């Protein structure tokens, strides 16, 4: 499941991202409300973790704008002790739940899953949950990939890498951008992490004859020919 963590404290944001990634979530980060609103326009997030106390546009204002823009996913407010009025206003405005800092990872994961059970449909077909590019179809809720009638088993990193390519078909994506996507921004130049996963994806996705669906653009990166 794809989450967006909106947190101006970089260290806390990294803690959330690393811990939730270990639980199988794909986590993007935004440092302020304006960045978060822009990211939500491009990506179908299942749940947003929204810090209330942020400089500039605070979390309650971001929450109101998200709902006004039609965002229907789950929103979990991240508050500090003593913010009772903010909690109540947030819940009245459209938040699904809140958690108080400092939050234990186990409690955070439990609350995220509870929000997802309330806000996501029981069926896997949800607007924005199915991605298609050429013969490739990805079900983001089931974490399932198909090429035609064939179901293809992928590792988490292979799935995340393919999702990024499917979201940008026929666009050349650099190795750095792809590496940051699958290694939580811990990419070291010169490593072959992207080449390794691209090779495995080609083995699983390509037909026995014909060109690969993932094309190498020398000196630039890779593109999904779909």
- For residue 179, the model assigns a pLDDT of 81
Cα 19 to Cα 37: distance, rounded to the nearest angstrom? 24
CATH of domain 130-224: 1.10.10.10
In this predicted structure, the answer to whether residue 187 has a pLDDT above a threshold of 50 is: no
- For residue 50, the model assigns a pLDDT of 92
Is 77 in contact with 95 (CB distance < 8 Å)?
yes
- For residue 57, the model assigns a pLDDT of 86
Q: Which CATH number fits domain 2-119: 3.20.20.70, 3.40.640.10, 3.40.50.2300, 3.40.50.300?
A: 3.40.50.2300
Predicted model pTM? 0.55
3-state SS class at 151: strand
- For residue 183, the model assigns a pLDDT of 64
- For residue 34, the model assigns a pLDDT of 92
Summarize the confidence of residues 164-193 as an average pLDDT: 73
The more confidently predicted of residues 148 and 50 is: 50
Burial class (CB in 10 A: 0-12, 13-18, 19+), 59: buried
Is 36 in contact with 48 (CB distance < 8 Å)?
yes
């Amino acid at each position: 499941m794809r989450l967006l963590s909106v947190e101006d404290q970089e260290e806390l944001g990294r803690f959330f991202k690393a811990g939730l990634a270990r639980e199988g979530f794909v986590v993007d980060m935004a440092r302020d409300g304006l960045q978060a609103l822009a990211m939500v326009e491009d990506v179908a997030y299942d749940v947003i973790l929204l810090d209330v106390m942020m400089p500039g546009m605070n979390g309650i204002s971001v929450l109101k704008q998200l709902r006004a823009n039609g965002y229907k996913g789950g929103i979990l407010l991240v508050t500090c002790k003593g913010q009772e009025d903010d909690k109540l206003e947030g819940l009245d405005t459209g938040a699904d739940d809140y958690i108080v800092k400092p939050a234990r990872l186990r409690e955070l994961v439990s609350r995220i899953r509870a929000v997802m059970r309330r806000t996501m449909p029981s069926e896997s077909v949800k607007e924005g949950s199915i991605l298609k590019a050429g013969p490739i179809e990805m079900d983001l809720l089931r974490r399932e990939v198909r090429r035609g009638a064939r179901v293809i088993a992928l590792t988490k990193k292979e799935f995340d890498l393919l999702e990024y390519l499917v979201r940008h078909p026929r666009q050349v994506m650099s190795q750095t951008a792809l590496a940051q996507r699958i290694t939580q921004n811990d990419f070291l130049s010169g490593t072959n992490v992207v080449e390794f996963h691209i090779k495995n994806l080609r083995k699983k996705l390509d037909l026995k004859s014909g060109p690969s669906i993932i094309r190498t653009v020398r000196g630039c990166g890779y593109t999904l020919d779909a």
